[in-house]
Amino acid sequence: MKEIHDLRSISYDAVVIGGGAAGMAAALELDAEGFSCAIIEREDHLGGILMQCIHNGFGLHEFKEELTGPEFAERFINRTVKSKIAVYLNTTVTQFTAIEPSTLDSLIPSSNSSFSVTNYSLLYCVSPSGIMQITCRAVILAMGCRERNRGNVRIPGSRPAGIYTAGLAQRLVNIEGFIPGKEVVIIGSGDIGLIMARRMSWTGCKVKAVVEIMPYPAGLTRNIVQCLNDFNIPLYLSSQTTNIFGKDRVQGIEVTPLENGVLASDKSFRIDCDTVLLSVGLVPENELSRSAGIELNTATNGPLVDSFLMTNMDGVFACGNVLHVHDLVDWVCEESRRAGRYAASWLKGDRPSLQIKTKAGSHVRYVNPSRAAPEKENTIYMRSMIVKNDAVLEVLMDNQVIKTKKERHVQPSEMISFKLGPKDFEGKKFNPDSILEFIIS
Q: Tell me the per-residue pLDDT of 365-390, one tens digit each, with 9 for 90 and over.
A: 999 999 999 999 999 999 999 999 99
Burial class (CB in 10 A: 0-12, 13-18, 19+), 418: middle
- pLDDT tier for residue 169 given thresholds of 50, 70 and 90: very high
Instruction: State the pTM of this model.
Output: 0.91
Q: How far is CA 306 from the centre of its chain?
A: 17
Considering the domain architecture, whether residues 288 and 309 belong to the same structural domain is answered as yes
Task: Report yes or no: 218 and 186 within 8 Å, Cβ to Cβ.
Answer: no
pLDDT at 441: 93
pLDDT at 10: 86
329-347 and 21-32 helices, crossing angle to 10°: 30
| Residue 427 domain boundaries | 356-440
Considering the domain architecture, whether residues 181 and 137 belong to the same structural domain is answered as no
Q: Which of residues 236, 253, 280 is at a domain's end?
A: 280
69-82 and 21-32 helices, crossing angle to 10°: 30
Q: Which has more pLDDT, 161 or 352?
A: 161
Q: Which of residues 280, 312, 339 is at a domain's end?
A: 280
Task: Quote the CA–CA distance of 366 and 10 in Å, as a whole number.
Answer: 39
**CATH number of the domain that residue 389 is part of:** 2.60.40
Is residue 48 over pLDDT 70? yes
Considering the domain architecture, whether residues 171 and 248 belong to the same structural domain is answered as yes
Considering the domain architecture, whether residues 23 and 72 belong to the same structural domain is answered as yes
Q: Which has more pLDDT, 214 or 99?
A: 214
Considering the domain architecture, whether residues 230 and 100 belong to the same structural domain is answered as no
Considering the domain architecture, whether residues 105 and 220 belong to the same structural domain is answered as no
- pLDDT tier for residue 122 given thresholds of 50, 70 and 90: confident
For 341-351, write each residue's pLDDT tens digit: 999 999 998 88
**CATH number of the domain that residue 325 is part of:** 3.50.50.60
Considering the domain architecture, whether residues 141 and 179 belong to the same structural domain is answered as no
Task: Quote the CA–CA distance of 149 and 166 in Å, as a whole number.
Answer: 10
Considering the domain architecture, whether residues 258 and 301 belong to the same structural domain is answered as no
Strand partners, 15: 38, 139
Task: Quote the CA–CA distance of 257 and 241 in Å, as a whole number.
Answer: 9
Q: What is the mean pLDDT of residues 161-179?
A: 95
Mean residue pLDDT across the chain: 91
Q: How many domains in the chain?
A: 3
pLDDT at 151: 81
pLDDT at 276: 96
- CA 312, 317, 322, 326 dihedral sign is positive
Considering the domain architecture, whether residues 75 and 172 belong to the same structural domain is answered as no
Q: Which residue in 381, 384, 362, 383 sits closest to 372, CA to CA?
A: 381
Q: Which of residues 280, 305, 322 is at a domain's end?
A: 280
Considering the domain architecture, whether residues 193 and 93 belong to the same structural domain is answered as no
CA dihedral 80, 91, 136, 339 (to 10 degrees): 50
Tell me if the bond preceding 160 is cis, omega within 30° of 0: no
Task: Report yes or no: 2 and 87 within 8 Å, Cβ to Cβ.
Answer: yes
Considering the domain architecture, whether residues 217 and 276 belong to the same structural domain is answered as yes
Considering the domain architecture, whether residues 215 and 81 belong to the same structural domain is answered as no
Q: Give the rounded percent of residues in the chain with a pLDDT score beyond 70.
A: 93
Spatial CB neighbours of 429, under 8 Å, sequence gap ≥ 6: none
